[in-house]
Each structure stands twice: as C-alpha cells, then as structure tokens.
Structure 1
C-alpha cells in the first residue's frame, strides 16, 4: 500500500472516530442535562432573606429565583422576602423557579387629629384617611355628649397601626350614675313613676291597655327589664293597665 493511500485511509478513519467521539460527548451532555433537570430538589426557605442573598441560596439548590412583586408588610423590613411559592420544604424539579414577593416595609399612614370632633365626624375623618376605627370607650366628661376626648395613635405619620385600628375615648356627657333597673311590674303606676324620676331616670313612653283581672293603674310591662343597667340617658318605657270600656 502506498504512503498516499495510507494517509487517506488514516484521515478518513480519524475523522470517523472524531465524529463518533463528538456525538458521544453531545449525547452525554444532553443526557446529563435531562437527568439534572428531571431531578427533584428540596426548596429552601427564603422568607426573611435579602434578595441578593436569596438568589445565590436558590442557585445552590439548583433552583432559580423570580421576583413576582412587592408589597407592604407590617412585620417584615423592606427589601426582604416576605412570601415564597412553593413553600420551604416542598420539592421542585431542578432549574425551576421559586417565586418570591419582596417587602416594602410597613405602610406609612397619616393619622388625622379628631379630638374635639363628634364621634360620627371623627370616625368619618379616620375612614377617609384609611385608618380603621377599633375600640371606642365612653366616659363621663363635662364636654358635650359624643365629643371625642382622646385618640390613639396620636395625630401624625405612623407605621405602628395594628389590625385593631385607632382607639377613641368619647364623652357621654357630664356626671350621672348608672343604676340597675328595678322590678316595677305589679306596682302602682304613680309609685313607679315617682321612684324613677327621683333617681333621675327618664320615662320616654307610657302606654295604656286593658288587662282582664288587673285594676287600672298597675305596671304591666317595662323596658328595659329588671336588672338591666340604666343611666339618666336611657329612655324607659312602661305599659300600664287601664279600665275597660
């Protein structure tokens, strides 16, 4: 065999072997990629992490990071992951993405001053400022009934407004004691009315009706019922017997 023919054959078989090696290598790479992408990995916890730290942590678990959005959160500082999907501890195929939401920090709310306003007007002012009204407590005060005496939180910008909202202290007017409503049923109407008036209680309505077997002028019904706590601001009503036709 001539040297030239030998060189041609060597080149021909060399190229064939090289092609087989390249094909084998590509096949191995493709197979490895398929195997890696089909493997399931455990999702790490990213909540509370800063985004620059969360990305590398996800990469170490052969996962990617995708920021879905940003939102205010009263407990999580700004620029930290506040939520993730899927949750930590679940499994996910490698090279898939963990979706995260990043905190903007607590929402700053400007609380208006409502001290001195009526309870209705103050509530409206707070609601317009997107401040929910929580607990409302009444107390005796020389101020006009229904006037807001105190508020919490104080007027101004705040980040600490909780789910309970703003608390208000409202005047229920000057002085006045609370009483337990006495049992007036069966008593003479005159005695019952005198006792209520002496206690400073207001009788708002008196109704009369015929009740068989009961003489005229006897209390048949009362509102509120006996034992209920009443004050001078409570409107009372009585039903009293009258003579039949």
Structure 2
C-alpha cells in the first residue's frame, strides 16, 4: 500500500512537471510573438509619430491624381479656390499650399487652387458701331482689335464697322484679335490724293487705302535726318483728282 502511494505521488509530480514545461513553452512562444508585433508594427508607428515628410509636387496634374498622390503619403487635400488660367487645362492644380518640398507631419491638409481653364467670352456684335466705339466694346469683353480693312458702303456711314471676323454669339478666348472692316461711306464721284509725306509707311498705307487708292512701288533712299520708314516723297501731289484705285508710288527713308 505504501509502495502504491509512493508510485502515485511520483506520477502526479511527473504530470505537473510536464504541464509546467508545456506552459513555459507556450509562454515563450507568446513572448516571441509579442516581440515580433512590437518590432514590426508597434515600434515603427511609435518612432514615426511626429516625423516630418516632404510634400510631393502636385502642381500641373489633375485634381483626382493629386488627391491620390497626397493620400498615399498620408496627407489630405482641400480645394481652396478655382480660377481662370490659360496655362492649365480645366481641373488641373495651379498652386499648392504648403509648397512642394515643405517638411510637414502626416495628416497635414494641403490647400490647392484649381484651374477653370482658359476664360472665354461671348463675341459681341460690333457691326454698326463706330470705329472708335468698337475698340471700347471689344476691350469690355476682353477682346482686342485686329487688322482693319476699309470699303465703300452705301448702307453704313463713313467710320462705321461693316464687318467683323468672328460672328456674334460665338465663344472666343480672352485677348482674341478681331479683324474689322470700316466703311468709307458712299463711293465718291471724285477721289483726291491725300498727303502722306512725313508720315510713317504704315500710316501712309492706311491713309491711301481710306482714300480709295492703292500703294504703288516703294523705293528706299538713305536719309539720316529722318527716322527709317518715313515717307520722303509721293508720286502724285495731294489734292489731285484721280480715278478709284489709282496707285501712288512712294520714296521711303532708310538707314
């Protein structure tokens, strides 16, 4: 009986020892697992807390692409403003705040200004306006006066726009040049030669065209006393009555 009790006691001790060994092994594996988690996950998050990162450059890209780029780096994007800008297509980032390369913490908001594209204006009606008023009207709509031509008209008085190069109502970009045709009034029975001596060559061209005449040959002559491209002499005396489209030859100064 005593032997059996001794044997049973030894067996119980052995079982407890095995259980202790098993629990110890489990604890060792658990500690190793905790160590791996700390090393690979917890510590990187802890050590990076408060770390600054350089902001990527998101200008000149579409808003959606800019948003993806910032979110990938842990930043947030905010639309601050939209404005017209002919340099950027609609929906592209014009400017970001803070600027590219600025060191900021993760989660920082980045404000962006987006392009609305090139500003466009509806072409106004210029026909029927005076030559002087046409310039003011075009300027009001963000447009510019282009080339001018002249023609006789039995309908429009002298100095009134008879034709414009772009039809009214069409949308055009800002600063578009609009060519105009200006009325010279009714066709006269007599055409008088204008005086263009002392004028620049460009002015002489316009004056002669407005008089219903044409520029003939142009001969250049060195003349230090005058600025280059100044009319020295004209082939027909001013005030002379001539047929329509008569050509006037010019002598022009050169260096």
Structure 1 residue aligned with 2:175: 163
Distance 1:140 1:75, change over 3 A: same
User: Once the 2 structures are TM-superposed, how far is the Cα of residue 114 of structure 1 from its aligned partner?
Assistant: 0.9
CA distance in 1, matches of 2:241, 2:168: 41
Counterparts of 1:1-245 in structure 2 under 5 Å? Answer: 31-34=47-50, 36=51, 38=52, 40-51=53-64, 53-74=65-86, 76-85=88-97, 90-95=101-106, 96-128=108-140, 130-142=141-153, 144-158=157-171, 160-172=172-184, 173=210, 175-178=212-215, 183=233, 195-198=237-240, 227=251
Q: 1:153·1:161 contact (CA, 8 Å) conserved in 2?
A: no
Q: Which runs of 4+ in 1 moved over 6 A?
A: 25-28
CA distance in 2, matches of 1:138, 1:228: 23
Distance 1:63 1:112, change over 3 A: same
Q: 1:43·1:86 contact (CA, 8 Å) conserved in 2?
A: no
User: SS in structure 2 opposite 1:126?
Assistant: helix
Q: 2:119·2:174 contact (CA, 8 Å) conserved in 1?
A: no
User: Once the 2 structures are TM-superposed, how far is the Cα of residue 65 of structure 1 from its aligned partner?
Assistant: 1.7
Q: 2:142·2:174 contact (CA, 8 Å) conserved in 1?
A: no
Distance 1:61 1:28, change over 3 A: closer
CA distance in 2, matches of 1:195, 1:77: 57
CA distance in 2, matches of 1:78, 1:195: 59
Structure 2 residue aligned with 1:189: none
User: SS in structure 1 opposite 2:179?
Assistant: strand
Q: 1:111·1:131 contact (CA, 8 Å) conserved in 2?
A: no
User: Once the 2 structures are TM-superposed, how far is the Cα of residue 174 of structure 1 from its aligned partner?
Assistant: 6.2
Q: 1:80·1:102 contact (CA, 8 Å) conserved in 2?
A: yes
CA distance in 2, matches of 1:145, 1:26: 86
Distance 1:150 1:92, change over 3 A: farther
TM-score (norm 2): 0.49
User: Once the 2 structures are TM-superposed, how far is the Cα of residue 156 of structure 1 from its aligned partner?
Assistant: 0.5
User: Once the 2 structures are TM-superposed, how far is the Cα of residue 86 of structure 1 from its aligned partner?
Assistant: 5.0
User: SS in structure 1 opposite 2:173?
Assistant: coil
User: Once the 2 structures are TM-superposed, how far is the Cα of residue 100 of structure 1 from its aligned partner?
Assistant: 1.1
- Alpha carbon RMSD of aligned pairs, Å? 3.9
User: Once the 2 structures are TM-superposed, how far is the Cα of residue 154 of structure 1 from its aligned partner?
Assistant: 1.9
Q: Which runs of 5+ in 2 are unaligned?
A: 1-40, 185-209, 219-230, 243-249
**Number of residues of Structure 1 aligned to a counterpart in Structure 2:** 165
TM-score (norm 1): 0.51
CA distance in 2, matches of 1:183, 1:78: 55
CA distance in 2, matches of 1:120, 1:72: 29
CA distance in 2, matches of 1:114, 1:131: 14
Structure 1 residue aligned with 2:11: none
User: Once the 2 structures are TM-superposed, how far is the Cα of residue 69 of structure 1 from its aligned partner?
Assistant: 0.6
